[in-house]
Amino acid sequence: MRKSLLSSLLVFAGLAVSQTAPNPLLLPWAGSYNGVPPLDKVRLDDFKPAIEAAMAENIAEIHKITHNPSPPNFDNTLAALERTGQTLNRVLAVYYIWSSNMNSEAFEPIEGEMEPKLAAFRDQVVQNTELFKRIEAVYKSPAYQNLNSEQKRLTEKYYIDFVQSGAKLDADTKLKVAAINQQLAGLFTRFSQNQLADESEKYLELTDQKDLEGLPEGIVSAAASNAAALKKQGWVIFNTRSSIEPFLTYASRRDLREKAWRMFVSRGDNGDAHDNKSTVTEILKLRAQRAKLLGYATHAHWRLANTMAKTPEKALALMEAVWPAAVTRVHEEVADMQKIADQEGAQIKIEAWDYRYYAEKVRKSRYDLDQNEVKEYLQLEQLRESLFWVAEQLFNLTFKPAVGVPVYHKDVRVWVVSDKASGKQVGLWYFDPYARKGKRSGAWMNAYRDQQKLVGNITTIVSNNANFIKGKAGEPVLISWEDARTLFHEFGHALHGLNSKVTYPALSGTSVPRDYVEFPSQLLERWLATPEVLKRYALHYQTGKPIPQSLVDRITNASKFNQGFSTVEVVSSALIDMKLHLAGDSTIDPAAFEKKTLAALNMPKEMVMRHRIPQFGHVFSGDDYSAGYYSYLWSDVLSADAYEAFTEAKGPYDKEVVKRLYQYVFSVGNTIDPAEGYKLFRGKEASIQALMRNRGFPVK
């Protein structure tokens, strides 16, 4: 009977299960630390059968819930649903590790085939009429009021998520939405693979010593290592942010700066096989169609319905409130740079490929601050230790190297994280810091396993991934102040996951609205500049001496420098993202739209968006950040305001403020409304004034 049921479900799902030896991806995670992913046993051929088998198992689990003869209640419906999909979660955790970190020509067709199938599977779940009826029955029953607050939150989340995904649609419309989701999944994969190809296959070759003028030794060393890895003579600058931005900051050769800049900003926009513009057009059209089928005016209205902002209009209002001051500051910054260029007799007008180079000259002139001098005190390994120290000071967490944990690449290291008072494990932290072929650019955090108490006391597994450039073997990796901030930012996400203390996995850790998830991470960035961190961990890479107070003072004095650039760079991308998704179902030419919209915004001609449309992976490699890139600014309003709670008290390590931060932000996941949680922590709603003060903009 059971075999027959599973076979029927497999036919319904269009899936098949291999009859060969056990697939290691399907087995429960074994080993110490509550089990760990079998990253040393992965074979690419295992992914497809493992995903298909795990989806089939999940369908069978859901079938059991929907065919339960007992009336629906919280335990036999919502809690039961939370217990399902454990095998699929494990398989997909490993699958997405490979997608982000170990992508290859052999993996691409697997991704291309499985992403539409995964989209179809998700629609089978959220469009399951019988399942939704049970969820709705619990949500609307009198017994709902007797649930505890976390159970209510979970029930509400499932109900809203299912409704927003089309659970109330008629059968014909459900099919149309499902078809669109499958098409989008394929397009997202194509976009990501095109972007990765442009970042992996294009690079700037330097062949003469004159090409290296102005470059610090660390950049030269990394470029030499890049060339050696490609079996090239000379030096190579990779087409990734972590390589290009330092080159643009220090390279004296203007022609090479322009060449590097054009290569980088043209990713996905070269009119070749990896051009993303037509893919973007298709994605936007399908998103608009889906939004209308789901009953929303635009994709932006659909995506923001369950966020802190609630509406695109509120998100736009925030961006438009900041934009004029940021643009004015950019014009001031450009004037300062032009003055130096004129004094040097450069006989140029500042262009986008000059911005970082001359901004650095202004920084040196105005604040006597040389980022190269700062960089000598920012050793990656020392900063990693500083992350652990901050985690201990704030949240009583300790980090020790894990033993015998398999990894997917030799660069990856793992630490076991414990509560200092009890000694109990709270999770594992994987660290993958270096760039390599097949790894997507940027920096990010992932949860391989969510914390939960529903099925045992399960601890989380989180990772931080970055793209720092390795230098020569045995030499410390020195990073910029901005990269150090990013390191703290991503670790803030990790701490959000590690501190989670909730019952249900769907509410765990960083499973919060998109415009709130960046708040804890942006807040943690501020601990980098605290004297306690700098004196202990900002140690000179040669002498080992701590950073001198005079240099710290110069860093502090320059903290608001170049905020026009950094604000316009991000907010222009966020405005384009929002306006693209408010444009409805009209056919959009990305190049024309970008040019026209930026002109209407009076975008300074001396700079470019942080993410141009054809390379905007946040927005076009999936739905998560679509119409949601504003989240970084929204969350920074919260983080600027929240940090003032510390400065108004006894400082960044004030125990009482930290206690509230843990209680109402870092430990609660999505068990309470974010706006309510923030007010419980802060005692008031956040205001934009703190952000404006933090960036040195006029406060009205």
Question: How many C-beta atoms surround the C-beta of residue 4 within 10 A?
Answer: 8
Catalytic (active site) residue 376: no
Sequence-separated contacts (24+) of 689-696 with Cβ below 8 Å:
690/637, 690/640, 690/641, 690/643, 690/644, 691/322, 691/633, 691/636, 691/637, 691/640, 691/641, 692/322, 692/325, 693/640, 694/560, 694/640, 694/643, 695/326, 695/560, 695/563, 695/567, 696/329, 696/560, 696/563
User: What pLDDT does 474 receive?
Assistant: 85
2-126+128-168 has CATH 2.60.260.20 classification: no
Query: Considering the entire predicted model, what is its pTM?
Result: 0.94
Question: How many C-beta atoms surround the C-beta of residue 585 within 10 A?
Answer: 15
∠ CA 438-221-488, nearest 5°, is 60
Task: List the beta bridge partners of residue 236.
Answer: 205
Q: What distance in Å separates the CA atoms of residue 119 and residue 193, rounded to the nearest whole number?
A: 18
The one-letter amino acid code at 536 reads R
3-state secondary structure 194-253: HHHHHHHHCEEEECCHHHHCCCCHHHHHHHHHHHHHCCCCCEEEECCHHHHHHHHHHCCC
Q: What distance in Å separates the CA atoms of residue 429 and residue 427, rounded to the nearest whole number?
A: 7
> What confidence tens digit (pLDDT) does each residue in 576-598 have?
999 999 998 889 999 999 999 99
Where in the chain are the domains?
2-126+128-168, 203-265
User: What pLDDT does 46 receive?
Assistant: 97
Averaged pLDDT score across all residues of the chain: 95
Statement: residue 12 has pLDDT above 70: no
Region 310-321 average pLDDT: 97
Statement: residue 13 has pLDDT above 60: no
Would you say 181 and 123 are in contact if contact means Cβ atoms under 8 Å apart? yes
> What confidence tens digit (pLDDT) does each residue in 425-458 have?
999 999 999 999 999 989 999 999 999 999 889 9
Would you say 250 and 219 are in contact if contact means Cβ atoms under 8 Å apart? yes
Catalytic residue among 360, 376, 490, 518: 490
The one-letter amino acid code at 222 reads A
Statement: residue 48 has pLDDT above 50: yes
The one-letter amino acid code at 152 reads K
* 18 — pLDDT class (breaks 50, 70, 90): very low
∠ CA 31-32-37, nearest 5°, is 55
* 20 — pLDDT class (breaks 50, 70, 90): low
> What confidence tens digit (pLDDT) does each residue in 26-40 have?
999 999 999 999 999
Would you say 405 and 428 are in contact if contact means Cβ atoms under 8 Å apart? yes
Region 531-552 average pLDDT: 96
